[in-house]
Structure 1
Amino acid sequence: MRVYTYSEARQNLADLLDQAGEEGEVRIRRRDGSEYVIRPRRRDGSPLDVPPVNTEVSTEEIVAAVREGRERTPQ
């Protein structure tokens, strides 16, 4: 893992973030010797995992609405 100086990190922030995404983390060392770790935040679950909506509409009503719409559509 590469350790960047603070100045290098400022000049190459986009590359540093890309490297953190690929390698898991990147370290930045300041002049006073203190080190910081940059790592990507892990997302929990899928972005497509959305909570259900309670519409109180039955399956039969949905199917009937779709059929009605298809009957109205000229072919």
Structure 2
Amino acid sequence: MKVYTYSQARQKLSDVLNDAQRDGEVEIKRRDGQTFILKPVKEKKSPLDIPGVDTGISTNEINEAVRESRERP
């Protein structure tokens, strides 16, 4: 984890944010000894939010296949 002083962090904010994005977090120390951790916020996405798959068949064909599979012999 990269450590910056407060003054360095102010002067190189873009670098600090890039390091936090790349490494997961950076530490910023103040003159009075206080230490802060800066972390990027992860985007909240649904696990069901996935790209579609091109099956080459229409919705009607899928529905028909489901109906056929549900019919009793």
TM value normalised by structure 2? 0.61
- In the alignment, structure 1 segments of 5+ residues that lack a partner are 50-75
Residues matched between the structures, number: 49
CA distance in structure 2 between the aligned counterparts of 1:2 and 1:23, rounded to whole angstroms: 8
Following the alignment from structure 2 to structure 1, what is the Cα–Cα distance between the partners of residues 20 and 28?
Answer: 11
Q: Counterpart of 1:7?
A: 7
Instruction: Summarize deviations over 1:9-68 as a string: whole Å, max 9, x none.
Output: 00000010000000000000000100001100011106xx5xxxxxxxxxxxxxxxxxxx
Q: Secondary structure at the match of 2:36?
A: strand
- Moved segments of 4+, more than 4 Å: none
**AA matched with 2:39:** R
TM-score by length of 1: 0.59
Give the alignment's Cα RMSD to 1 decimal.
1.6
